[in-house]
C-alpha cells in the first residue's frame, strides 16, 4: 500500500520592512463640483481636522494682532483723547462715538485685523489658493461687486423709506403724543471738526471693515462648517446667529442683524462668493455711520437700543429688493457658483500574485481529451488575474468642460 504523496508546503511571500516599502504612487483627479461652503474640501492634502485647525490658528493670529494693536493704540489714545478709556470704563460713553474719532479708528482697526489673521492661517496650513475664501473663482469678482453695490444702494433707499414710514405709523398707533414732542437735545455741543474726521475714517475704513466681517462670518465659518456638513443650511444659520450675537443691540436690533446675516449667507451660497454680502454690508454700514456722524435722530454713538419694529419691517422689504436684484445681476453676468479643484490621491497598486506549487497546478488543470482522462499540463497555462491599469494623472480642465468622475476608491471621493 503506497502512501499518497503530500503536496509541498506553500511558501509565503517574504516580509517587507515598512521603511523599505516603495513610496506610494500619486495621481491627479478632479473633485466633485464644490459649492462655496464646501471649498475647503478642494485644498491639497485635505484632512477632516484641517478646517478646525484653520479656525483655531486664525483665532491665535487675531489675538496676537489685537495685542499689538492695543499696545500701539494706548499712547495714541493718551495723547489724543486721554479721557476716553476712563469714560468707557465708567459707562459714560459708548465704544463707538463719532464725536470721538479715535474711538472710530480703534473700533474699525480691531475688526480689520481679522482679515490678515484668516489669510495668514490659510497660508500657514497650505490652503492655496487663499482666494477661495472670496469666491469659487478664487478671487474677488470686482465687476460683480460693483454692480451689486448699485443694487444695494437701491435696496437701502427702499429699506430706509419703508422703515421710517413704518416707524411713524407704529408710533402714531401706540403713542400719538410722542410725534409732537421736540427731539431730545444732545448732551454736549456738536463738534463739526470731530464729525468731519469721523466721516473720513468711515468712508475709508468701512468698506474694509465690512469685507472683513464677511470673510470671517460668511467666509471662514461657512467653509469650516461646510467641510464637515454637506447641507448648506448649517453653514448659513449657525454663523448668522454668531454674527448677531457679536453686536450690542436690543431684541429688534439683533433680529435685524440676524436677518441680514441669513440673507447675506444665503446669497453667498447661491452666488458662489462674498460679493453680494460685502455689497449690502458696505452700503448698510455707510448709511448707519452716516446717520451717527451727522447726529441724525439725536445720537452720534452706536447704542444698544438702536433697533425698532418699524426698522425691522423696512429691512425685510429692503432685503427682499436686494435679493431680487442680486440674483438678476448674477444670472445676467453668467458667473459660476461651484468650483472643481485638482487634488492628489494615491493611485491603485497592483496586487501581488500568490505562488502555487506544481501539484496544485496539476490538480487545477482539466484532463485532455483522448488521453484517457489523465491530467496533463496545458500548453498555455492560465494567466493570473491582473490588477486594473493605473490611471494617468488627469489633465487640468476648464470649468466649462464636463469633469471626469474622480477615482471611486480615492479618499477624497469617500469623504465627499
340 in Cβ contact with 34 (< 8 Å):
yes
DSSP string, 18-83: GGGSPPPPEEEEEPPPEEGGGGGGGSTT--TTHHHHHHHHHHHHHHHHHHHHHHHHHHHHHHH-TT
So what's the pLDDT on residue 298?
Answer: 78
pLDDT at 367 over 70: no
Question: What is the C-alpha to C-alpha distance for residues 58 and 41, in angstroms, rounded to an integer?
Answer: 18
β-strand pairing of 342-346 with 338-339: unpaired
Helix (H, G, I), strand (E, B), or coil: what is residue 380? coil
pLDDT tens string 34-60: 999 999 999 988 999 999 999 999 999
| Dihedral of alpha carbons 316, 322, 325, 328, sign | negative
Residue 264 confidence class, pLDDT cut points 50, 70, 90: very high
pLDDT band at 362 (very low <50, low <70, confident <90, very high): low
pLDDT band at 233 (very low <50, low <70, confident <90, very high): very high
The two beta strands, 342-346 and 26-30, are antiparallel
Q: Report the pLDDT value the prediction gives residue 87, as an integer from 0 to 100.
A: 84
Residue 142's pLDDT is: 97
| pLDDT at residue 113, rounded to an integer | 97
d(CA 202, CA 285): 9
In whole numbers, what is the pLDDT of the chain averaged over residues? 82
Per-residue model confidence (pLDDT) at position 297: 75
Please report which confidence band the pLDDT of residue 382 belongs to, taking 50, 70 and 90 as the band edges.
very low
Size (the chain), residues: 416
Joined together, the cell numbers standing for residue 108 give 474699525
Q: What pLDDT was estimated at residue 317?
A: 96
Assigned C-alpha cell, 215: 470673510
- Per-residue pLDDT tens digits for 66-96: 999 999 998 888 888 888 888 888 877 888 9
Distance separating alpha carbons of residues 134 and 211, to the nearest angstrom: 10
- The more confidently predicted of residues 187 and 149 is 149
Backbone angles phi, psi at 192, to 5 degrees: -65, -40
Query: What separation in angstroms does the CA of 67 have from each of 73, 102, 163?
Result: 10, 17, 40
The pLDDT assigned to 392 comes to 36
State how far Cα 246 lies from the chain centre.
Answer: 18
Amino acid at each position: 500500500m503506497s502512501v499518497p504523496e503530500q503536496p509541498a508546503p506553500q511558501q509565503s511571500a517574504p516580509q517587507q520592512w515598512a521603511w523599505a516599502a516603495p513610496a506610494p504612487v500619486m495621481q491627479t483627479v478632479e473633485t466633485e463640483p464644490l459649492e462655496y461652503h464646501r471649498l475647503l474640501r478642494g485644498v491639497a492634502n485635505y484632512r477632516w481636522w484641517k478646517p478646525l485647525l484653520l479656525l483655531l490658528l486664525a483665532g491665535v493670529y487675531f489675538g496676537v494682532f489685537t495685542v499689538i494693536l492695543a499696545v500701539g493704540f494706548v499712547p495714541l489714545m493718551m495723547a489724543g483723547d486721554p479721557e476716553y478709556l476712563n469714560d468707557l470704563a465708567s459707562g459714560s460713553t459708548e465704544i463707538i462715538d463719532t464725536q470721538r474719532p479715535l474711538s472710530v479708528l480703534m473700533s474699525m482697526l480691531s475688526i480689520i485685523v481679522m482679515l490678515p489673521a484668516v489669510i495668514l492661517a490659510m497660508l500657514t496650513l497650505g490652503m492655496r489658493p487663499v482666494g477661495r475664501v472670496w469666491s469659487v473663482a478664487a478671487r474677488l469678482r470686482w465687476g460683480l461687486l460693483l454692480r451689486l453695490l448699485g443694487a444695494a444702494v437701491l435696496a437701502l433707499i427702499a429699506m430706509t423709506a419703508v422703515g421710517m414710514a413704518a416707524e411713524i405709523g407704529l408710533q402714531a398707533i401706540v403713542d400719538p403724543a410722542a410725534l409732537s414732542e421736540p427731539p431730545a437735545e444732545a448732551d454736549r455741543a456738536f463738534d463739526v471738526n470731530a464729525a468731519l474726521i469721523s466721516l473720513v475714517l468711515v468712508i475709508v475704513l468701512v468698506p474694509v471693515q465690512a469685507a472683513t466681517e464677511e470673510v470671517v462670518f460668511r467666509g471662514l465659518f461657512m467653509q469650516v462648517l461646510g467641510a464637515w456638513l454637506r447641507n448648506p443650511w448649517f453653514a448659513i444659520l449657525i454663523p448668522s446667529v454668531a454674527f448677531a450675537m457679536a453686536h450690542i443691540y436690543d431684541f429688534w436690533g439683533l433680529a435685524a442683524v440676524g436677518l441680514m446675516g441669513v440673507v447675506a449667507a444665503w446669497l453667498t451660497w447661491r452666488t458662489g462668493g462674498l460679493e453680494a454680502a460685502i455689497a449690502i454690508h458696505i452700503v448698510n454700514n455707510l448709511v448707519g455711520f452716516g446717520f451717527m456722524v451727522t447726529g441724525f435722530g439725536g445720537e452720534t454713538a452706536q447704542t444698544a437700543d438702536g433697533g425698532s419694529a418699524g426698522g425691522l419691517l423696512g429691512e425685510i422689504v429692503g432685503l427682499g429688493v436686494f435679493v431680487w436684484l442680486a440674483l438678476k445681476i448674477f444670472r445676467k453676468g453668467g458667473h459660476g457658483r461651484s468650483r472643481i479643484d485638482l487634488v492628489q490621491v494615491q493611485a491603485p497598486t497592483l496586487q501581488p500574485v500568490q505562488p502555487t506549487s506544481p501539484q496544485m497546478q496539476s490538480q487545477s488543470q482539466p484532463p485532455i481529451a483522448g488521453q484517457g482522462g489523465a491530467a496533463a499540463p496545458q500548453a498555455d497555462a492560465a494567466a493570473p488575474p491582473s490588477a486594473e491599469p493605473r490611471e494617468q494623472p488627469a489633465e487640468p480642465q476648464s470649468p466649462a468642460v464636463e469633469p471626469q468622475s474622480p477615482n471611486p476608491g480615492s479618499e477624497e471621493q469617500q469623504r465627499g
